[in-house]
């Protein structure tokens, strides 16, 4: 059986494991919002309050995934069309946002380090945790209900978030070594939004054929 066990439906949908995953993601979400505290305060002082939801990208992504896990822990037996629509939107956002910002954060850390930023234990912790965000989102998408329409809505959200970030200057704070590379960072960010949608679409096609 070997490593295949850890990719199997029986293992991944085991309620005990799902609860562990839920708690880990919930704690990570809380930590993420605390991480963004200074930028949230700065934004509330210098920008309109309605921009605040666009600031904490990674923890909001993990929040969507944490909520999506609840549908797997407690599968609803009877749902209305509105409840079903809410579920697929949350799941789609959980997938495309977690893949996008999981990879984005790692690239920014490595990119900054390549230009002289000194890494500490928190950087390595963030690399591991954000890679895990991307992997778990793609891994669990095959058990979710979201389809191509919801994924398209997720892509629109990512592009809106990108436009807000780089139009109004509320993108996640970067290592100072990357401040003169903002145009390249912006282009990469938009491209990664599209790539995250394509990755989710690929998993969706695989799920439909399975």
Q: In which band, very low, low, confident or very high, does the pLDDT at 92 lie, cut at 50, 70 and 90?
A: very high
pLDDT of residue 208: 58
- Once rounded to an integer, what is the mean pLDDT over residues 136-153? 94
Confidence of residue 79 (pLDDT cuts 50, 70, 90): confident
Tell me how far apart the alpha carbons of residues 165 and 191 are, in angstroms, rounded to a whole number: 14
Backbone angles phi, psi at 110, to 5 degrees: -65, -40
Q: What is the mean pLDDT of residues 146-160?
A: 96
4-34 pLDDT, tens digit per residue, is 666 678 888 999 999 999 999 999 999 999 9
Least confident of 74-83, 99-108, 137-146, 172-181: 74-83
Q: How far is CA 101 from the centre of its chain?
A: 5
Q: What pLDDT score does 78 carry?
A: 81
Q: What is the pLDDT of residue 40?
A: 97
What is the per-residue DSSP string for the chain? -GGGGGGSHHHHT-HHHHHHHHHHHHHHHHHHHHHTHHHHHHHHHHS-GGGGGGS-HHHHHHHHHHHHHHHHHS--SS--HHHHHHHHHHHHHHHHHHHHHHHHHHHHHHHHHHTTPPP-HHHHHHHHHHHHHHHHHHHHGGGS---HHHHHHHHHHHHHHHHHHHHHT-SPPPPGGGGGGHHHHHHHHHHHHHHHHHHHHHHHHHHHH-
Distance CA 209, CA 4 (A): 20
Q: Provide the domain count of the chain.
A: 1
Please give the mean pLDDT across all residues of the chain: 93
Q: What residues make up the domain containing 166?
A: 2-209
pLDDT at 155: 97
- Cα–Cα dist 148/109, whole Å: 31
140 near 12, Cβ under 8 Å?
yes
Q: How confident is the model at residue 162 (pLDDT cuts 50, 70, 90)?
A: very high
pTM, full prediction: 0.93
pLDDT at res. 6: 61
Asked whether the predicted pLDDT for residue 125 surpasses 60, the reply is: yes
If one compares 206 and 46, the residue with the highest pLDDT of the two is 46
Look at residue 201 and tell me whether its pLDDT is greater than 90: yes
């Amino acid at each position: 059986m070997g490593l295949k066990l850890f990719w199997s439906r029986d293992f991944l949908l085991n309620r005990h494991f799902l609860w562990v995953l839920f708690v880990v993601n919930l704690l990570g979400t809380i930590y993420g919002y605390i991480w963004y505290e200074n930028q949230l305060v700065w934004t509330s002082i210098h920008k309109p309050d309605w921009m605040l939801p666009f600031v904490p990208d990674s923890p909001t992504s993990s929040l969507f995934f944490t909520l999506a896990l609840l549908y797997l822990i407690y599968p609803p037996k009877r749902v209305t069309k509105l409840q079903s629509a809410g579920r697929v939107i949350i799941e789609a956002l959980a997938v495309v946002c977690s893949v996008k910002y999981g990879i984005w954060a790692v690239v920014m850390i490595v990119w900054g380090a390549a230009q002289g930023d000194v890494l500490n234990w928190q950087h390595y912790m963030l690399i591991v945790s954000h890679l895990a965000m991307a992997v778990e989102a793609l891994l669990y998408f095959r058990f979710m209900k979201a389809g191509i329409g919801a994924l398209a809505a997720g892509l629109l959200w990512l592009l809106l978030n990108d436009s807000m970030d780089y139009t109004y200057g509320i993108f996640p704070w970067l290592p100072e070594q990357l401040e003169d590379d903002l145009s390249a960072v912006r282009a990469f960010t938009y491209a990664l939004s599209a790539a995250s949608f394509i990755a989710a679409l690929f998993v969706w096609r695989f799920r439909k054929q399975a």
